[in-house]
Amino acid sequence: MEKKTVRFGVSIEEDLLEKFDSHIGDKNYINRSEALRDLIRKSLMEEKVENPHAHVFGSLTIIYNHHHGDISDRLNSLQHDFFGNIVSTTHIHLDEHNCLEVLILKGTSGLVRELSDSILSLKHVKHGQLVIASTESDLDI
């Protein structure tokens, strides 16, 4: 079933609109409406995934030095402990010391964040970032 599109007006300061138009041009949006729809979806998504009980998906990207300490063993152990929440992993060697790993996660927002925090706080993880989202069907958008 196709959703009905509704038109509405927005009042905005001229200089803010100029900055917005520049921004949407940089992002290759075809028009303001599409950019506004994405901003609204993003805001709704952020609110949804803040609920610790919401079912979410996420990608955790980390960079670490595999030669220091027992980080490889600790990562493997955590991944085995949470095997039901880790859909997939990708591991690449960046150079002779550093690795990049991407974990695709699923579960409740609280659990995905807990797992992510456990990994990001490991000694010798140099950098990491969790991107978390839910499906649009969960948001009714």
- Average pLDDT of each block of 10 consecutive residues along the chain (141 residues)? 86 95 94 93 85 93 88 90 94 95 96 95 94 72 52
Statement to judge: residues 59 and 93 lie in one domain = yes
Q: What is the domain range of residue 97? A: 55-136
Give the helix/strand (H/E) hosting 16: helix 14-26
The rounded distance, in Å, linking the Cα atoms of 107 and 102 is 16
- CATH code for position 60: 3.30.70.1150
Report the pLDDT value the prediction gives residue 89, as an integer from 0 to 100.
Answer: 95
Are both 37 and 71 inside the same structural domain? Answer: no
* pLDDT at position 139: 55
d(C-alpha 1, C-alpha 8), whole Å: 22
Give the separation between CA 90 and CA 71, rounded to whole angstroms.
16
Report yes or no on 118 lying in a domain: yes
Same domain membership, residue 103 and residue 44: no
pLDDT of residue 13: 96
Q: Please tell me the predicted confidence (pLDDT) of residue 63.
A: 97
- Kindly state whether residue 3 falls inside one of the protein's structural domains: no
Co-location of 21 and 59 in the same domain: no
In terms of domains, do 82 and 121 share one? yes
Q: What pLDDT, on a 0 to 100 scale, did the predictor assign at position 140?
A: 56
